Amino acid sequence: MEISLFEPRIPQNTGSIARTCAAFNITLNLIEPLGFKLEDKYLKRAGLDYWPLVKLKKYPNFSKFKESKNNRRIIAFSKKNGVYLNNFKFIEEDILLFGREDTGLPDDVIESSDSLISIFMPNVALSENDKKGVRSLNLSVACGIAIYEANKQINFKSGNKDY
CATH of the domain at 83: 3.40.1280.10
Q: Which helix (H) or strand (E) holds 2?
A: strand 2-6
Residue 96, in any domain of the structure: yes
**pTM, entire model:** 0.88
Q: Is the peptide bond before 122 cis (omega within 30 degrees of 0)?
A: no
Residue 40, in any domain of the structure: yes
Residue 162, in any domain of the structure: no
Residue 7, in any domain of the structure: yes
Residue spans of alpha helices (H) in the chain = 11-24, 41-47, 62-68, 107-112, 139-157
Residue 97, in any domain of the structure: yes
Residue 163, in any domain of the structure: no
Indicate the DSSP class of residue 134: B
| Whether the Cβ atoms of residue 7 and residue 35 lie closer than 8 Å to each other | yes
More confident residue, 41 or 8: 8
Residue 133, in any domain of the structure: yes
Q: Is the model's pLDDT at 158 over the cut of 60?
A: no
Residue 73, in any domain of the structure: yes
Structurally, the chain folds into a number of domains equal to 1
Taking residues 122-137, report their average pLDDT: 67
Domain range spanning residue 71? Answer: 2-157
